[in-house]
Amino acid sequence: MAERRSKAGTRKAAAGRKAWDGVFALPVEGRVAKPRETGWTMVIDKGLGLHQTADLMAAAADAIDVVKLTF
């Protein structure tokens, strides 16, 4: 019988991984390392809360160059 994991156990196991692990290889081939002069990725938030912004950074900070925060 397969071992069952609780949702909390799954979250703990995934906590050390990035959001896109196993989906595609990072850095994307041809992507210039930070700090970049061209090819910037800009994010404009539409009223994200503090925790949502922290989650965004935890998941994608490696790929984001500029974040424009709105209030």
pLDDT value at residue 51: 94
Q: Is residue 1 part of a domain?
A: no
Domain count, the chain: 1
Q: Is residue 2 part of a domain?
A: no
Q: Is residue 28 part of a domain?
A: yes
How much is the pTM? 0.56
Q: Is residue 55 part of a domain?
A: yes
**Which residues face 42 on adjacent strands?**
66
pLDDT value at residue 3: 47
Q: Which of 61, 54, 60, 66 is nearest to 20 (CA)?
A: 60
pLDDT band at 39 (very low <50, low <70, confident <90, very high): confident
Supply the range of the domain harboring residue 64. Answer: 7-68
Contact by Cβ (8 Å): 53, 45: yes
For the chain, what is the mean pLDDT?
76
Q: Is residue 27 part of a domain?
A: yes
Per-residue pLDDT, averaged over 18-47, amounts to 79
Q: Which of 55, 58, 64, 59 is nearest to 34 (CA)?
A: 64
